[in-house]
Structure 1
Amino acid sequence: MWWAGMAGALAVAVLAGVADWRRSRRDDLDRVGWFDWRTVQMTALLGAALCVIAAQH
């Protein structure tokens, strides 16, 4: 169960990284985004790390 949570969190982190990359290269710089994708990515990476720690105990 923990390994599946880790895989899901890593998938969210990758998608947030792609979304942040797209947002930083957008044409219309005045468009405001809904999410701070870097925060989403870091939270997902922290969740993945915690799942790995929990799976090993």
Structure 2
Amino acid sequence: MQVSMLSVSIGAVVLFGIAEIAEWRRKHRHDVDRVGFMPWRGITLASIAVALFAAAFALKG
């Protein structure tokens, strides 16, 4: 169980990094009219929450 929760935590951290890079690119875009449709800030918050909970469950068990 610990290994699976650690892998979930690592996957969520990787998703967090991807979402942060995408959010940075969205903020620094050249064409202001191309806003996109992905809620990168929400994905960032959700992935960090999943990473923290999965790490807590992995350390507890």
What is the TM-score normalised by the length of structure 2? 0.88
Instruction: Name 2:53's counterpart in structure 1.
Output: 50
Please list, as runs of the form range in 1=range in 2, the aligned pairs for 1:1-57 lying within 5 A after superposition.
1-57=4-60
Equivalent pairs: percent with the same residue? 30
Larger Rg: 2
RMSD: 0.7
CA contact (8 A) 2:26 2:35 kept: no
Structure 1 stretches of 4+ moved >2 Å: none
Paired letter, 2:31: D
Identify unmatched segments of 5+ residues in structure 1.
none
Identify unmatched segments of 5+ residues in structure 2.
none
CA apart distance, 1:30: 0.9
Question: How many residue pairs end up in the alignment?
Answer: 57
What is the TM-score normalised by the length of structure 1? 0.94
